Structure 1
Amino acid sequence: DTVRTGRAVDLDAGSSNLTDTDVDHYRWDLGDGGRSEGSVIRHAFRTPGIYTLKLEAVGRPGPDGRLEARCSSRRIVVMDRYKEEEDGVVVVTYQDARGLVRSFAYQELPQDEYALTEEELQDAQFTVELFASTERVALSDPRFLEIRKHYPILERFDPVRGKYTYSVGEAKDLAEMYAIYRKVKELQFMEAEVMMIHPEKLTDMSDLAFLTAQDLNRSLVRASNILFGYRDTTVMDAYLPTLDTIITTLNNFPELELVIEAHTDDVGGDDYNLALSQGRASSVEAHLLEKGIAATRIRGIGFGEQHPIANNSEAEGRRLNRRVEFRFHVKREEQANAAHD
């Protein structure tokens, strides 16, 4: 099980395998130096780490006056991440097919801070984030060697944290998510945690002129009409007006920042497509810089064929997958100022 530092957790002896003992009292060794007694206790771990929680069930004296004691133990992983986002943590419980109650914590991705409606919650998915890094990590990195035998690695960029994130699995079903989470822990990704992915907040290019900065915050503009020549990274002149719309939006709202995401179909090798998409994202970024947009406000990232939105086995699907997406977000300090106004 995984818990967070400073967050109280209820520990119930009734969920152990010691309940068939004629118990007089329970003793807890919490692994962090703490000790307690009782069938149900509450404890908060202060320091991240891996702790072995021990429960001793002491029976009532038998006819001969002797006490029977039985012990059970379990491992607790305590994490100390995203303190500034701590209120976003949710503890999920569900009952598996054997009737056992499972629980784990998940956190909403920081770039998705807007409130969820009930309908959106039903559409939300979960993923297990392995780690986040300020430096981009190649998917061929040795640390992914074992886990790639079980799950594909999905790379994203989180503009709020300013980090690349690496995750596995996407599921709506909590039982399926728990199984992925357990496997990740077995493979020693001890900092991994479950994150909620909200549905994409898609915005049409034609609507940009009518939206406010807050409307655009955390929105995704998908452009399939920014086309490049075959195996080329230069934006064709015919499609520059599309970029002019993006430039106008950035000029109108100086509080907005932009991530330019370029994608390809799956024709060609992984490394080739990644390099091609990065070249195309950089080409769009260079055009915006040339038009006066500050370098601190934009970032171009190529994802290659990692994020298809259509079937690559069909020509139309491949056409849709060859695309550029614009992900707007309000600068974090601007969001903080708005919250205090």
Structure 2
Amino acid sequence: ARCSSRRIVVMDRYKEEEDGVVVVTYQDARGLVRSFAYQELPQDEYALTEEELQDAQFTVELFASTERVALSDPRFLEIRKHYPILERFDPVRGKYTYSVGEAKDLAEMYAIYRKVKELQFMEAEVMMIHPEKLTDMSDLAFLTAQDLNRSLVRASNILFGYRDTTVMDAYLPTLDTIITTLNNFPELELVIEAHTDDVGGDDYNLALSQGRASSVEAHLLEKGIAATRIRGIGFGEQHPIANNSEAEGRRLNRRVEFRFHVKREEQANAAHD
């Protein structure tokens, strides 16, 4: 008979309710007990379903900043030799976040977390990434504000001309749907994210995507949406959703995404009702 073995990791955790810090301890294959802390994102004011928790992933956040930081910043010089930097925007905290690594298992994050600390990111912490709620544009009229909280509406059709940042007239009815949704639910805020494929240089694609996100933002402002409720961000080629080596993949990666979220004060009020 053949004997097989597998590594078993025993984990324990507790949460400090005041600041949302979760301290995890586990015993590795050599019997050593290790521990580290991770931070649940502010969106955790709403409980995750069991299915969402199974889909949740973790990342090591290096730091968060109210000002955007270029990925060429000297602070990333050493860490980029080991891991790619992932830039996101957290609308609840109102900050850009910079992280490395993604995994479903907290134990898998320990090696990354340890390396990050060695490279002197002393404020780094493991963060939970909530699963995205992908929502179809045609369903917006039938959803409540809470349905739309932390939802993502993706537009992969051609919104702009070649190397252009002006929204094509044919796309304006789609933006009208977004505007109607924001008017129906004053408690909602919106992040407009523009993405490109990988054709062209990094800096060019970042500037192109920012121009496109700003163009959509400007249109919403012209239609009366308050500037405090919307933010346009271009990510260039940082976040592909398909293979850039194929024409269809590049087409899908050239997209605009709309991320709805309920204002944090509204979330707090709902949690206490």
**Are the structure 2 counterparts of residues 318 and 203 from structure 1 closer, same or farther at C-alpha, using a change threshold of 3 Å?**
same
Check the 8 A contact 1:202/1:219 in 2, yes or no.
yes
**Are the structure 2 counterparts of residues 84 and 158 from structure 1 closer, same or farther at C-alpha, using a change threshold of 3 Å?**
farther
Q: Partners in 2 of 1:135 and 1:227 — Cα distance?
A: 28
Larger CA deviation: 328-337 vs 81-90: 81-90
Larger CA deviation: 101-110 vs 175-184: 101-110
**Are the structure 2 counterparts of residues 191 and 262 from structure 1 closer, same or farther at C-alpha, using a change threshold of 3 Å?**
same
Check the 8 A contact 1:92/1:104 in 2, yes or no.
yes
Q: Partners in 2 of 1:77 and 1:122 — Cα distance?
A: 17
**Are the structure 2 counterparts of residues 79 and 269 from structure 1 closer, same or farther at C-alpha, using a change threshold of 3 Å?**
farther
**Are the structure 2 counterparts of residues 256 and 161 from structure 1 closer, same or farther at C-alpha, using a change threshold of 3 Å?**
same
Q: Partners in 2 of 1:189 and 1:274 — Cα distance?
A: 26
Shift of 1:84: 11
- The CA deviation string for residues 235-282 of structure 1, in whole angstroms up to 9 with x for no partner, is 111111110100000011111111000011111111111000000000
Shift of 1:83: 12
Give the number of the structure whose alpha-carbon radius of gyration is greater.
1
**Are the structure 2 counterparts of residues 189 and 214 from structure 1 closer, same or farther at C-alpha, using a change threshold of 3 Å?**
same
**Are the structure 2 counterparts of residues 262 and 220 from structure 1 closer, same or farther at C-alpha, using a change threshold of 3 Å?**
same
Shift of 1:130: 0.4
**Are the structure 2 counterparts of residues 74 and 124 from structure 1 closer, same or farther at C-alpha, using a change threshold of 3 Å?**
closer
Q: Partners in 1 of 2:166 and 2:225 — Cα distance?
A: 19
Check the 8 A contact 2:63/2:99 in 1, yes or no.
yes
Shift of 1:123: 1.6
Aligned to 2:161: 229
Aligned to 1:246: 178
Shift of 1:77: 23
Shift of 1:160: 0.8
Check the 8 A contact 2:13/2:23 in 1, yes or no.
no
**Are the structure 2 counterparts of residues 275 and 121 from structure 1 closer, same or farther at C-alpha, using a change threshold of 3 Å?**
same
The number of equivalent residue pairs is 273
Check the 8 A contact 2:60/2:124 in 1, yes or no.
yes
Shift of 1:206: 0.8
Check the 8 A contact 1:260/1:301 in 2, yes or no.
yes
Shift of 1:124: 1.2
Aligned to 1:11: none
Q: Partners in 2 of 1:102 and 1:180 — Cα distance?
A: 14
Counterpart of 1:143 (choices 65, 71, 75) is 75
Identity rate of aligned residues, in percent?
100
Q: Partners in 2 of 1:197 and 1:78 — Cα distance?
A: 22
Q: Which runs of 5+ in 1 are unaligned?
A: 1-68
Check the 8 A contact 1:289/1:295 in 2, yes or no.
yes
Considering Cα pairs closer than 8 Å and 6+ residues apart, tell me whether 1 or 2 has the greater RCO: 2
- The CA deviation string for residues 30-78 of structure 1, in whole angstroms up to 9 with x for no partner, is xxxxxxxxxxxxxxxxxxxxxxxxxxxxxxxxxxxxxxx9999999999
Q: Partners in 2 of 1:115 and 1:217 — Cα distance?
A: 12
Q: Partners in 1 of 2:216 and 2:171 — Cα distance?
A: 11
Check the 8 A contact 1:85/1:110 in 2, yes or no.
no
Counterpart of 1:96 (choices 13, 21, 28) is 28
Q: Partners in 2 of 1:234 and 1:80 — Cα distance?
A: 52
> Alpha carbon RMSD of aligned pairs, Å?
6.5
Shift of 1:201: 1.3
Check the 8 A contact 2:13/2:25 in 1, yes or no.
no
More strand by share: 1
- The CA deviation string for residues 205-259 of structure 1, in whole angstroms up to 9 with x for no partner, is 1110001111111111111125111111111111111101000000111111110
Report the TM-score, using the length of structure 2 for normalisation. Answer: 0.91
Larger CA deviation: 87-96 vs 119-128: 87-96
Check the 8 A contact 1:127/1:196 in 2, yes or no.
yes
**Are the structure 2 counterparts of residues 81 and 124 from structure 1 closer, same or farther at C-alpha, using a change threshold of 3 Å?**
closer
Check the 8 A contact 2:62/2:125 in 1, yes or no.
yes
Report the TM-score, using the length of structure 1 for normalisation. Answer: 0.73
Aligned to 2:117: 185
Aligned to 1:57: none
Shift of 1:161: 0.8
Check the 8 A contact 1:112/1:218 in 2, yes or no.
no
Partner of 1:111: helix, strand, or coil?
helix
Q: Which runs of 5+ in 2 are unaligned?
A: none
Q: Partners in 2 of 1:235 and 1:314 — Cα distance?
A: 25
**Are the structure 2 counterparts of residues 159 and 299 from structure 1 closer, same or farther at C-alpha, using a change threshold of 3 Å?**
same
Q: Partners in 1 of 2:3 and 2:18 — Cα distance?
A: 34
Q: Partners in 1 of 2:157 and 2:133 — Cα distance?
A: 19
Partner of 2:18: helix, strand, or coil?
helix
